[in-house]
Amino acid sequence: MRRLKFACSLMALVISLGSLGSASNASAQSKDSLYKRLGGYDALAKVTDKFIVRLASDPKLGRFFVGASDNSKGRIRQLVLDQLCAATGGPCVYIGRDMKTAHKGLGITEDDWTISVNHLVAVLTEFKVPKKEQGELAAALTDLKKDIVEKP
């Protein structure tokens, strides 16, 4: 009998926790991290893959990646992904070099930056990321610009 009572109270607790979860769903959605709203890790990985391929094959930007082995490009890809994941509120930890150190001496110009951002926007649009989220991601990256762009 005591066991039955215990089982019943356990079930009641589970049910009430369940309804608590769904009641707070609506407000949780509006507070979701950018990472979650972008679709999480797999979605960010797809965006990063397309972004890197576009940068490396762009007629003006390809020069930055000439001579980089597939493995080196894969390393950059993973670090960019980790950084995007961490910067948008995801569970990743960025362990790469800081942006100033990683890009120092490459001579990236304002024009290179604009072309890169346009590639990113094109990929996000291709993946049907809403304008609001696109804007939030662009804002997060704009903070890095001063450390990446070296020339006017």
Query: What single-letter DSSP state applies at residue 138?
Result: H
- Listing DSSP states for 10-41 in one string gives HHHHHHHHHHHHHHTHHHHHHT--HHHHTTHH
CB of 39 or CB of 148, closer to ligand HEM: 148
Q: At what angle do helices 110-126 and 40-57 cross, to 10 degrees?
A: 130
CB of 95 to ligand HEM, least distance (A): 8
Binding interface with ligand HEM (CB under 6 A) = 55, 61, 64-65, 76, 79-80, 83, 96-97, 102-103, 106, 108, 112-113, 116, 141, 144, 148
CB of 104 to ligand HEM, least distance (A): 9
CB of 60 or CB of 131, closer to ligand HEM: 60
CB of 109 to ligand HEM, least distance (A): 9
Beta carbons within 8 Å of 101's beta carbon, 6+ residues apart: none
- Distance between terminal CA atoms of the chain? 80
CB of 36 or CB of 145, closer to ligand HEM: 145
